[in-house]
Structure 1
């Protein structure tokens, strides 16, 4: 019996990378995106396409969603052309978007009403990392069978899959991880600006510091972009990450957790927005720091 294709809704930076990994693993992938250009690019990579999320759900048992907002997820789930139009018994939805815990819970409730199983499974990693399969999945949900089916698919596009327990823990884990991403990215930029201002060879600094106790994943991933000072090809746009910054702040506030380092770091990303860097990679905090005390 021929294996059904896997559905991917949302073919942006992360969704397109994940769908490419699935196809590289030999699976057929039906893609859908409201952006016709993205849909065309997916077809150009050898992917199958659907005219709507409803059509995609009819052709797939498992669907990966990668979306930018809770409004987009609501439309994809229960809109007029959504995945769960009518009943969707047995449909497994691997929801990878970064949203708030409450927004994920609301989405699960909508899916449950239609007989679908929605798993909360954000990804840790940039678009660049996703293209090489170097991302980590934080899988959470309350159906062991659905999680087992999801894990098989996730391992085709991720370096590792962590079952972090009950529904919602995936989002909590992602927000904790992104707090560190925000701080480490800014710390890498601050260190490289210091190296530049002191006349050091930045490629040498990156190699030496990256091999010592000061190493971090963000220094390794974003350090080369900072050195090049070309932030135009974004693997994580400032505009997208600003949404994550707001989610982390709200999450920490809700549980009463102090975040002095994160709060200081968040100001740099807000400055990036104020400087019109919305579409640049978050490595541009290097440029933001440079602008704070310009050299004569």
Structure 2
């Protein structure tokens, strides 16, 4: 594969990916609705495109990192979308988190035009995007995955081919649904323990070394909940709300009950309604505090 790459969506995630592509020697074209983001990357060597179509006209592989299903659809299928510009044999790698049904539909429409697609949602946040250490779960044809391995190695550290098209999105939604449940449950048990008279640092220490331990407690809470700091976000509440909603939709389509996840989703929905959407997703814990008229407190570093 040549080193002509495009990036559609250069927010907190896409910007880091684009910069790593530039460092890796790629000729990078970028597009975003945010002109400031484009200007910042052009000063670092990227080329400015006026539309996804222009990205497609100048790229052999395009990475997308976009915040919503409708935006992904427009970027690929719209009148000025990627499929209007990409050549036969080109690749679209969608690093956004959307539902697998939409992913497969986009794949089929791209395939009809000779364009190959991979769904490749990521984990690792803006820090991982900037450092090139993202975990990437890739769905799609194994031959296409192998063809794109080099570009994956530039933006990520742990790259997994997880199955056919849509499998990456399915795994990402399952992961984030579980993370949402863990987050809400942690808020409840920490507040219960503190209100019962247990010191917060002891509570966290014991749970972290017992069967109730989880990744969210070890990696998110020390940076957010336990220091009462939710801005700047590691991953916004709005995005978690979106992802959990997509998981519930997927579960329903599979005929699987999602009672517990639906309860967590309602807490995120309440957080969004009370203007916490742009805060870190763990600020959903503040809903637990507000509903319980209490505070978990903080741990001094």
* 8 Å contact from structure 2 (residues 176, 240) kept in 1: no
* 8 Å contact from structure 2 (residues 5, 61) kept in 1: yes
Q: Which residue of 2 aligns with 1:171?
A: 169
Q: Which residue of 2 aligns with 1:273?
A: 272
TM-score, normalisation: structure 2? 0.87
* Aligned-residue offset at 1:265: 1.5
Asked if residue 117 in structure 1 is aligned to residue 116 in structure 2, the reply is yes
Q: 1:147 and 1:222, CA in 2 relative to 1: closer, same or farther beyond 3 A?
A: same
Asked if residue 52 in structure 1 is aligned to residue 31 in structure 2, the reply is no
1:162 is paired with a residue whose SS is strand
User: How many Å separate the matches in 2 of 1:235 and 1:228?
Assistant: 14
Query: What do you get for the CA RMSD once the two structures are aligned?
Result: 2.5
* Aligned-residue offset at 1:198: 4.8
Q: 1:242 and 1:42, CA in 2 relative to 1: closer, same or farther beyond 3 A?
A: same
User: How many Å separate the matches in 2 of 1:44 and 1:191?
Assistant: 48
1:110 is paired with a residue whose SS is helix
Deviates more, 1:127-136 or 1:224-233: 127-136
Q: Which residue of 1 aligns with 2:144?
A: 146
Q: Which residue of 1 aligns with 2:213?
A: 215
Q: Which residue of 1 aligns with 2:16?
A: 17
Asked if residue 290 in structure 1 is aligned to residue 289 in structure 2, the reply is yes
Q: 1:283 and 1:87, CA in 2 relative to 1: closer, same or farther beyond 3 A?
A: closer
1:164 is paired with a residue whose SS is strand
* Aligned-residue offset at 1:8: 1.0
* 8 Å contact from structure 1 (residues 188, 223) kept in 2: no
Asked if residue 158 in structure 1 is aligned to residue 156 in structure 2, the reply is yes
* 8 Å contact from structure 1 (residues 140, 168) kept in 2: yes
1:21-45: CA deviation from partner (whole Å, max 9, x where unpaired) = 3334444432211211221232344
* Aligned-residue offset at 1:181: 1.4
* 8 Å contact from structure 2 (residues 2, 60) kept in 1: no
1:137-170: CA deviation from partner (whole Å, max 9, x where unpaired) = 111113x332112222112222211111211111
1:159 is paired with a residue whose SS is strand
Deviates more, 1:119-128 or 1:176-185: 119-128
Q: Which residue of 1 aligns with 2:299?
A: none
2:277 is paired with a residue whose SS is coil
Q: Which residue of 2 aligns with 1:30?
A: 29
* 8 Å contact from structure 1 (residues 10, 66) kept in 2: yes
Q: Which residue of 2 aligns with 1:188?
A: 186
* Aligned-residue offset at 1:83: 1.7
Which runs of no fewer than 5 residues in structure 1 stay unpaired? none
Deviates more, 1:20-29 or 1:250-259: 20-29
Q: 1:282 and 1:55, CA in 2 relative to 1: closer, same or farther beyond 3 A?
A: same
* 8 Å contact from structure 1 (residues 4, 59) kept in 2: no
Deviates more, 1:285-294 or 1:69-78: 69-78
1:156 is paired with a residue whose SS is helix
* 8 Å contact from structure 2 (residues 30, 46) kept in 1: yes
1:75-106: CA deviation from partner (whole Å, max 9, x where unpaired) = 22232332221562111111121112221122
2:148 is paired with a residue whose SS is helix
1:248 is paired with a residue whose SS is helix
Q: Which residue of 1 aligns with 2:41?
A: 42
User: How many Å separate the matches in 2 of 1:156 and 1:237?
Assistant: 25
* Aligned-residue offset at 1:221: 2.4
Q: 1:188 and 1:20, CA in 2 relative to 1: closer, same or farther beyond 3 A?
A: farther
